[in-house]
Amino acid sequence: MKKVLTISILLLFGIPVAELAREEASYLLHTRTLKNASAQIIPDMTEDEVRELAGNPDSTKDAEQGESWYWSSDVHQGRLWGLLGLVWVKGHQTLAVKFDSRKRVVRIWGGVN
């Protein structure tokens, strides 16, 4: 009986704690990727070069003069963190890149919001 109780407690608390740790590690990795990409993206890079550094954007916006791509680590905080109300609004790494009609970088901005 003691063994069953111990295993039950481990499952009840261990699995959610492990998932919270996994989500946090994923968030921190995404944050570091955006920070590194921000430092490496330069004007005239192609969309493919930017995607290689920063990954796929979280959102995009089309305009007549080109397209803008946006990334924010806040959307990578994790579902369990959200369910527990442990997510926060400020302090996330962001990155935005504007491309011209040739699909080349013309502007980079972002930082910590």
Q: How far apart are the first and last CA of the chain?
A: 51
- DSSP assignment of 70-113 equals EEEGGGGS-HHHHHTT---SSS-EEEEEEE-TTSBEEEEEEEE-
- Structural domain including 57 reads 2-112
pLDDT in tens, 9-29: 777 788 888 988 999 999 999
pLDDT in tens, 90-100: 789 999 999 99
SS3 content of the chain, % helix, strand, coil (to 5): 50, 25, 25
Average pLDDT over residues 39-65: 96
pLDDT of 45 higher than 80 = yes
pLDDT of 89 higher than 80 = no
pLDDT of 36 higher than 80 = yes
Phi, psi of 26 (to 5 degrees): -65, -45
pLDDT of 56 higher than 90 = yes
* Domain tally, the chain: 1
CATH of the domain at 30: 3.30.1450.10
Q: What pLDDT score was predicted for residue 87?
A: 78
Q: What pLDDT score was predicted for residue 93?
A: 95
